[in-house]
Structure 1
Amino acid sequence: MKAFAAVLTWALLTLPVGAETIRVGMSGGYFPFTFVKSDELQGFEVDFMNAIAAETGDTAEFSTMAFSGLIGALQAGRIDTVANQITITPEREAQFVFTQPYVYDGAQVVVREGNDEIEGVEDLRGKTVAVNLGSNFEQLLRELPFASEITIRTYESNIEQDTALGRVDAFVMDRVSSAQVIAESPMPLQLAGQPFSEIRNALPFRNDEPGRAMRDRVDAAITKLKENGTLRRISEKWLGADVTAPAS
């Protein structure tokens, strides 16, 4: 009986104190960050959030939905954060509190293979350009000095297909995802020039007391994952490179 009591006491002491479920929203359609293969949700973001939960003693619970609905779900309290390469912007900082960035990337123009008319962002004048609905890339295009000369189309999906088929002239996505899409897709695509804007991606939380508390706990875990190399290994596994620190 004493032995049983000792085992029970040890088990209680080793359980995480105040463990919570972190409800994570993601699209499940943004390879290689979050996607479904063989009925399994996987990718950089899934490994990243599971590593955070292991560090904090919480449980990560994933929900997938259209990318354009993720921010609304966070605002409504249906999820606690969004792990889908959410870029820090002044507009979003006015609504949410963010962790430190965990991915540093750049906005990239992608065109049909063999298209020599577009060699970078400057050549988008007079062109039709696709972006994912709800992403920050539409805003980045609208901030260009020649934005009035660009026709922007927003898509839930298939921007690479319509670009390859000539329905739009180009699409804009982050450079890491663009390179992965080109490598994995049967569509004839190529990068056009260099990234034209640095982007910093982080996890948003609601700006209330519970949201800030969860943000602080998750942010501390991100620091540990950077220090012990876990975040770098996740990046190299899914992206073939370490994009978890700013370019030197």
Structure 2
Amino acid sequence: MILNKKRIITISAVILAMVLIVGCSSNSSVISEDRNVIRIGTSGGYPPFTFMNEKGALDGFEIDVWTEIGKRIGYEIEFNTAEFSGLFGMLDTDKIDTISNQITMTEQRKERYLFPTPYVFSGAQLIVQKGNNEIQSLEDLKGKSIGVSLGSNYEELIRNFDVNNEINIITYEDFGGSLQDVALNRIDAVMNDKLAAIINIDRSGLDLQLGGDPVHPLENSFPFVKNEKNEEFIKTIDKTINEMREDGTLQEISNKWFNVDITSK
């Protein structure tokens, strides 16, 4: 068969384009592996753990912890921000490698994800309007409304307790918005981390107070999808966190943001 010149040029162009596409895809993957990148998902809206500072840069306790981990293990840390409720979806679809946003190690989560050793120890705390001494425990929430972060372990904790649907659970994307609603008497209480509660009550200037003692102890870590590669990688993260705890680095980062050590029991 004799092909005319125009057809030969067209076929050649198509083949060249296919080679370039395959070549670019291959190089992109190799570069990503060579860079040793860990993709961290975080909300960027939970100060002082993770937030955007005055310069518009991601900042906070979580950022400092992972920056230090990255330095020690020789990995570049790539932070990806999204609403908290969307972070686990990103993890499940391989858009990020783990989440750094005070993720509590619940039994349900441990069935689905791998966790390295905890890096934060805290407690689930009720927050109420100033002068309200009626809400001190989960039992006191019956017949009341409470705000929690959508998809959080606090939402899970209350739903597991509220087997008879006696508590009106209202979900929020923004912690600050839930605190404002308590102060304005739109809801009766909010549940969050005790330290975050103390700091945000102080910074907000709102008429709020803690509702009793923490209702549940918390151990927080970083969830990874269960697979053989992550099982090996978590051993490296474990070792690094333990070294940072032993040499005082975790405590130093904690004191920088909270003036107290939240990294030890």
User: What TM-score do you get using the length of structure 2 for normalisation?
Assistant: 0.83
Q: Check the 8 A contact 1:125/1:146 in 2, yes or no.
A: no
Give the unaligned 5+ runs of structure 2.
Answer: 1-33
SS at structure 1 position matched to 2:85: helix
Unaligned segments of structure 1, at least 5 residues: 1-17
Partner of 1:236: 255
Aligned to 2:88: 71
Q: Secondary structure at the match of 2:133?
A: coil
Question: What do you get for the CA RMSD once the two structures are aligned?
Answer: 1.4
1:89-144 Cα offsets, whole Å, 9 max, x none, are 12111211101011011110001112233233332121000000010001111232
Aligned to 1:97: 114
1:200 aligns to what? 219
SS at match of 2:87: helix
CA distance in 1 between partners of 2:207 and 2:162 (Å): 30
Distance of aligned partners of 1:159 and 1:145 in 2 relative to their CA distance in 1, 3 Å threshold: closer
1:175 aligns with 2:189: no
The one-letter code of the counterpart of 2:206 is: M
State how far apart, in whole Å, the 2-side matches of 1:147 and 1:238 are: 40
Q: Distance between the aligned counterparts of 2:93 and 2:163, measured in 1?
A: 36
Q: Aligned partners of 1:201, 1:155: CA distance in 2, in Å?
A: 21
Aligned position for 1:133: 150
Supply the distance in 2 between the matched residues of 1:134 and 1:214 (Cα, whole angstroms): 26
Q: Secondary structure at the match of 1:143?
A: helix
Q: Which amino acid aligns with 2:43?
A: S
How far apart, CA to CA, are the structure 2 residues paired with 1:213 and 1:30?
Answer: 30
- The aligned runs of 1:1-248 (5 Å cut-off) are 20-38=36-54, 39-144=56-161, 148-157=165-174, 158-246=177-265
Conserved in 2, the CA contact under 8 Å of 1:103 and 1:201?
yes
Cα displacement (A) at 1:188: 1.4
For residues 210-237 of structure 1, the C-alpha deviation after alignment (integer angstroms, 9 at most, x for no partner) is 2223322222111110111000111111
Match of 2:65, as an amino acid?
F
Q: CA deviation at 1:189?
A: 1.0
Kept in 2: contact 1:206–1:212 (CA 8 A): no
Which amino acid is 1:29 matched to?
G
Residues 24 and 145 (structure 1), Cα distance of their counterparts in 2 relative to 1, 3 Å cut: closer
Runs of 4+ in 1 over 6 A off after TM superposition: none
For residues 114 and 147 of structure 1, the distance between their equivalents in structure 2, rounded to whole angstroms, comes to 28
- Local SS of the residue matching 1:216: helix
Between the aligned partners of 1:54 and 1:161, the Cα distance in structure 2 is 39
Q: 1:25 is aligned with what amino acid?
A: G
Secondary structure of 1:148 counterpart: coil
What secondary structure is seen at the aligned counterpart in 2 of 1:120?
coil
AA of the residue aligned to 2:179: E
Map of 1:14 onto structure 2: none
The alpha carbon displacement at 1:146 in A equals 6.8
CA change 1:149–1:36 in 2 (3 A) is: same
Higher helix share: 2
What's the offset of the Cα at 1:196? 0.8
Give TM-score scaled by structure 1 length.
0.88
The offset of 1:183, in angstroms, is 1.3
What's the secondary structure of 2:257's corresponding residue?
Answer: helix
